[in-house]
């Protein structure tokens, strides 16, 4: 059997794990480092995992990739184990305190580069300090600080028992923190005081053990709120319904008034809005039973109200989705639904993402709206972050799943792709740049882009194959927020005017918000488009609470209006405003959400409304080689000719591969909806002969109650080079309802 070393390239004693499509660029930079180093230096010798000793602390594995770190020369963090004052800390460490990083308990210090290592040595030797670390940035992610926590997530091979796990933990000075729900044989550990190395080095050494499938240190990064509050907007909610007017194209609204004739939302459906803060004293959030289970992760209490003199992004987002119908102010898209306000800490790490989604699930959220992402150009999700979202999407609502929505972002860039960048302020982004939003490409997420009041693409809206639907918003110059620079515009700048109305919504009471009054015309971006879709999803569940999360997603996509934009993008010269053979557009997803059509479809669709009368089975015995390190993968089809709706699904798969953890396996329904059957969690096994069912893989619920007729496909992707394999055969068994 091959080990992970079979996937390692060693060049003059320097190791590369060939997993990234940016391999040539990474290889070039690493080769330069090697060429400038004495090949006979013992520090260049590789460990069991192939990582050179000198690089153990500068490479992290995350989301199946390796990211190269660079130390920031004048910053470090500490976590105290006592009530020592910040003043005393500053005096002890020869540095200047800068800020506290919420939820993590880290204190950030700045020191002259020449004194960094001395200050850190003093911190690590202090009895008042439990943990100290350098501050990093990810190579290729400009101006984004990465803070290192004291946790490591370790996925062990299925055959490793608890005694061996405990022995490995003790060897590295790790203390068991918790088991990770949804990931087999996976645990989070804390780095104890007795550990002799930092979490990055420990994680890399663990990766070399035969017992370990994956190990990831917990990193913390700034959160970015997606908003564009700069354009002149009109004081009206045109996006709900309109009959035309200045800068209003026919049908650019979401047809919500007629949907309200059917249902305006019910209190049993709770919309969780996850954001920076919420003015809970606003009249539009008042009403019996309106606010449910509020949470403040920043101040660690249950009052997520604004505490700083800055606009409350969350207030504006929540108003669009669920503002109460009270005869004054505005009406949200689902005014009768309950509101769960969750204030984030402003930073993203494993703990904060778990806290957000686990809280929402435990407290009965039906819909989770997230108008934010990482303040980073390239951000893959960690094992724990992916698992937290999947848990919410599969275990929420008593197994039917929470409907989770994420904003696509406002830089006019792909949510997963490469753009050659130039002209950005301070060259903060330059050259061939990979863009990735790990949240937006998660398979259990509905990703929302933005259209305008003229039924065109919003100039700022991010795009890609993972966009589900779009929703109305404003129009504005594209850009994004960086921790060091604040908001800056994407380049090249757009010289022409950007017509289109903006979004009118709730604002902080008084002059502290976006506007001087209690409502604002100055809101937009994919931030406002996302709660639009969240509100429609809430109306859908109000009509039919038995729908699974997959059914809700399918309803939103299948009932969306096919708006078309044949204009060339003014910034990048792209034309993605039409639809492919599957009815999907990179700009608009499956179209602009339509509240009336979605609610009507929900009325007609009831889960398990018919009794299964027959079982249909299909089998594909064609042996197919799986392309190595190819995102296109292979697709193997089984055609079902019977009519009727799917009541149950079972998939049998027979695959051989030299390293099964390279593989992702999807099932694609005839309507092109796909579910992830198998993530990269199979370790070093070489034979996969298994059955996926609704009982063992609840994500398959997403494909129930749709038409069985058509081409079902098994899609297999090999995500890393060198190791190869074959699909030997697969079977599909469907229970068909009348």
pTM recorded for the entire structure: 0.76
Quickly state the pLDDT bin for 63 (edges 50, 70, 90): low
Instruction: List Cα–Cα distances, 671 to 416, 465, 699, in angstroms.
Output: 23, 15, 16
Cβ pair 371, 531 in contact under 8 A: yes
User: Does residue 582 carry a pLDDT above 80?
Assistant: yes
Please give the Cα distance from 421 to 413 (Å, whole number): 10
Q: Which range, 22-36, 597-611, 650-664, has the best average confidence (pLDDT)?
A: 650-664
Q: Which of 219, 211, 202, 132 is nearest to 167 (CA)?
A: 211
User: Does residue 610 carry a pLDDT above 60?
Assistant: no
Q: Which residue has the tokens 């089984």?
A: 638
Q: What is the arithmetic mean of pLDDT over 55-81?
A: 81
Pairing mode, strands 612-620 and 725-737: antiparallel
Cβ pair 461, 227 in contact under 8 A: no
Task: Summarize pLDDT for 677-704 with one digit per residue, the tens.
Answer: 998 888 777 889 888 988 778 888 888 8
Pairing mode, strands 146-156 and 106-110: unpaired
Q: What is the arithmetic mean of pLDDT over 8-31?
A: 35
Cβ pair 212, 174 in contact under 8 A: no
Please give the Cα distance from 82 to 314 (Å, whole number): 34
Count of alpha carbons within 13 Å of 151, Cβ hemisphere only? 22
Please give the Cα distance from 188 to 206 (Å, whole number): 13
Instruction: List Cα–Cα distances, 356 to 98, 351, 660, in angstroms.
Output: 26, 9, 32
| pLDDT of the residue at 64 | 66
Instruction: List Cα–Cα distances, 169 to 174, 212, 243, 297, 591, in angstroms.
Output: 5, 12, 66, 30, 50
Q: What is the arithmetic mean of pLDDT over 84-91?
A: 70
């Amino acid at each position: 059997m091959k080990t992970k070393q079979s996937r390692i390239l060693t060049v003059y004693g320097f190791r590369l794990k060939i997993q990234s499509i940016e391999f040539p660029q990474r290889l070039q930079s690493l080769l330069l480092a090697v060429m400038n180093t004495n090949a006979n230096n013992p520090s260049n010798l590789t460990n069991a995992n192939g990582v050179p000793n000198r690089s153990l602390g500068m490479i992290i594995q995350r989301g199946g990739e390796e990211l190269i770190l660079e130390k920031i020369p004048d910053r470090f963090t500490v976590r105290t184990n006592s009530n020592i004052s910040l003043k005393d800390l500053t005096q002890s460490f020869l540095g200047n305190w800068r800020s506290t990083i919420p939820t993590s308990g880290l204190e950030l210090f700045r020191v002259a580069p020449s004194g960094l290592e001395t200050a850190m040595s003093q911190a690590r030797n202090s009895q008042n300090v439990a943990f100290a670390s350098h501050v990093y940035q990810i190579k290729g992610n400009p101006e984004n600080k990465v803070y290192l926590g004291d946790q490591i997530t370790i996925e062990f091979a299925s055959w490793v028992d608890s005694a061996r796990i405990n022995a490995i933990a003790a060897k590295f000075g790790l203390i068991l923190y918790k088991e990770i729900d949804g990931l087999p044989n996976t645990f989070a550990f804390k780095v104890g005081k007795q550990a002799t190395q930092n979490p990055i080095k420990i994680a890399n050494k663990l990766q070399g053990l035969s017992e370990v499938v994956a190990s990831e240190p917990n990193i913390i990064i700034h959160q970015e709120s997606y908003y564009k509050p700069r354009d002149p907007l009109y004081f009206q909610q045109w996006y709900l319904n309109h009959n035309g007017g200045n800068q209003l194209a026919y049908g650019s609204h979401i047809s919500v008034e007629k949907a309200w004739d059917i249902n305006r939302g019910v209190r049993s459906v709770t919309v969780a809005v996850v954001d920076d803060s919420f003015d809970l004293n606003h009249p539009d959030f008042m009403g019996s039973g309106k606010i449910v289970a509020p949470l403040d992760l920043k101040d660690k209490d249950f009052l997520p109200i604004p505490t700083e003199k800055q606009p409350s992004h969350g207030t504006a987002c929540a108003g669009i989705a669920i503002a109460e119908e009270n005869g004054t102010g505005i009406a949200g898209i689902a005014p009768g639904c309950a509101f769960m306000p969750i204030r984030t800490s402003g930073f993203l790490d494993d703990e904060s993402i778990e806290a957000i989604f686990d809280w929402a699930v435990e407290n009965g959220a039906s819909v989770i709206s997230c108008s934010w992402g990482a303040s980073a150009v390239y951000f893959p999700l960690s094992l724990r972050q992916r698992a937290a979202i999947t848990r919410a999407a599969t275990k929420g609502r008593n197994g039917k799943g929470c409907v989770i929505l994420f904003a696509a972002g406002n830089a006019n860039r792909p949510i997963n792709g490469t753009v050659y960048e130039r002209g950005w302020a301070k060259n903060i982004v330059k050259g061939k740049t990979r863009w990735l939003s790990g949240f937006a490409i998660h398979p259990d997420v509905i990703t929302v882009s933005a259209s305008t009041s003229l039924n065109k693409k919003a100039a700022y809206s991010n795009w890609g194959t993972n966009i589900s639907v779009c929703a109305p918003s404003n129009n504005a110059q594209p850009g994004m927020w960086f921790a060091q620079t604040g908001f800056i515009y994407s380049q090249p700048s757009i010289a022409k005017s950007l017509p289109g109305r903006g979004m009118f919504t709730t604002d902080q009471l008084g002059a502290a918000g976006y506007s001087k009054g209690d409502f604002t015309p100055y809101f937009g971006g994919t931030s406002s488009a996302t709660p639009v879709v969240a509100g429609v999803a809430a109306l859908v569940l109000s009509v039919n609470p038995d729908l699974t999360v997959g059914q809700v997603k399918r309803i939103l996509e299948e009932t969306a209006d096919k708006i078309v934009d044949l204009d060339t993008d003014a910034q990048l010269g792209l034309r993605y405003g039409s639809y492919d053979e599957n009815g999907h557009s990179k700009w608009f997803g499956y179209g602009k959400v339509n509240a009336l059509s979605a609610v009507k479809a929900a009325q007609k669709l009831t889960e398990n409304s018919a009794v299964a009368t027959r079982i249909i089975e299909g089998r594909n015995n064609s042996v197919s080689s799986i392309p190595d390190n190819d995102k296109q993968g292979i697709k193997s089809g089984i055609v079902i000719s019977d009519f009727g709706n799917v009541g149950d699904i079972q998939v049998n798969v027979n695959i051989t591969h030299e390293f099964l953890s390279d593989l992702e396996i999807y099932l694609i329904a005839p309507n092109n909806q796909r579910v992830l059957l198998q993530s990269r969690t199979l370790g070093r096994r070489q034979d996969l002969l298994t059955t996926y069912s609704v009982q063992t893989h609840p994500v398959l619920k997403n494909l129930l109650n749709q038409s069985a007729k058509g081409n079902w496909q098994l899609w297999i992707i090999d995500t890393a080079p060198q190791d190869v394999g074959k699909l030997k055969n697969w079977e599909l068994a469907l229970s068909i309802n009348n």
